[in-house]
Structure 1
Amino acid sequence: MKQIDMNSPEFQAELEKTWQFVEKVDKQFGFVQNPDQEINEGVAMGLARNKLIYGKRYCPCFMVIGETPEERKKADNRICPCKPALEKEIPEDGVCHCGIFCTPEYAEKKKLEETAEEAAHQHSRGLTQEEAELLVDKEQLDGDELESLMEARELGMVTFTLVDVREPMEYQMGHIKGTDELWPTSQFYEWFEKIQGRKEERFILYCHTGSRSYQVQHVMKAQGFAHVGNLSYGIVSYPGEIVRGD
């Protein structure tokens, strides 16, 4: 697997081409970018990374299946802008799965929601021991639930390993504070072999929007891992603290 240095001239040049590609797609279909620039940056970097590794701008929110070009073509991996986004996700939801392409109406609504959220103050009494123990065993968690579990873990109510399954450059751009391990899906077979002796541990996985982590969760459970949760809508849905760097 080709290693990508996000600070290299090669990557920066490809990233610039990717932004030009994004602008071209927006103009062609009448889309706009997400009001949350961090989402756009993360997706653009993922597209640039995949272009350098695989030669195509595969959707960075899904695992790229296949070791050869022929296998990847046969696997019908999503290539941006992908057919599901153009035919279903954006017409129905106003935004593609990765979040970078939006309708103008969705973007405007999102801006209003963010303004309202900034003005609001949300308070929580915290979880009881019983609630924490029940919640930590859910297979699909939303951002608020994971934030509550992170607080409960700090108080010693529950134990779990929080795992980011994105790529190292995505992790450096921003990850959930308290993340314990990084398992890049591009190195899936390498790290999956190493965790075979940990099938009784409790894991919670996350990625950008929940797709890659859901796929990893599915494989782990099929292979006998007993307790694997997933942050359904990924790091973009997490309301808690996000930190940059290693």
Structure 2
Amino acid sequence: MDQVAKTGRVTPAPLPRSGPALWELVPEVWRPAATELADEVLDTGELRRAAAFRFPEDRATYTAAHVGLRVLLGAYMNRHPGSVVLERRPCPDCGGPHGRPVVPGDEIHFSLSRTRGLVLMAFAQVSVGVDVERLPPASRAEPVSKTLHPEEQRELSALPEQERAEAFGRVWVRKEAFFKGLGTGLARGLERDYLGVLPHGAIQPPGWEISDVTMGTGFLAAVAVQRSETAD
């Protein structure tokens, strides 16, 4: 993605029949193009949310992520990025208006995740979710780990103390990616699904395939893709 940062243009390969196409974006590299394109391609809601960030780095990351998303959606759909319409499906658990973001008609499925210093996007022909996070400190991992599935709590407790923060981060991105693919977000509850904390691969929930994504030092990521035979 960063090789097109100076022009804001990209020609992606066709989407694979199964599995996602993943795009990694470094906000600092993409920032000049994103700043130039923002007013042209972002909608009023995105511009308002970008302006509301307190810290410039967070504002730049958000802007780069959403400009990059629209540039890629436009390229995949052969449209101008600013003409891409996005909406949200109802949450499948509660029916609220905070479900998975979609292109009307499901012409393409996508997911976006951002953290300071890195953006990860996934595009697919079926429902998809992606998450990227910085490696969490032990001070954050320890209290939140008590809200995981009981089997995941047992797995964490069995690990050496120095490995637990990374293992917690691993299961966190797996769950975030899965919940994004479902369209529920964290409201589904961390305790509900057993995905596992160990590095040899996620426990696969029915109808979905969850994979860890190798990132640079200090980051963890995962992607969840609905199996085509169970897709809507």
TM-score, shorter chain, exceeding 0.5? no
**Computing the radius of gyration over CA atoms, which structure comes out larger, 1 or 2?**
1
Structure with a larger share of its residues in strand: 2
TM-score by length of 1: 0.30
TM-score by length of 2: 0.31
Name whichever structure is richer in helix by fraction.
1
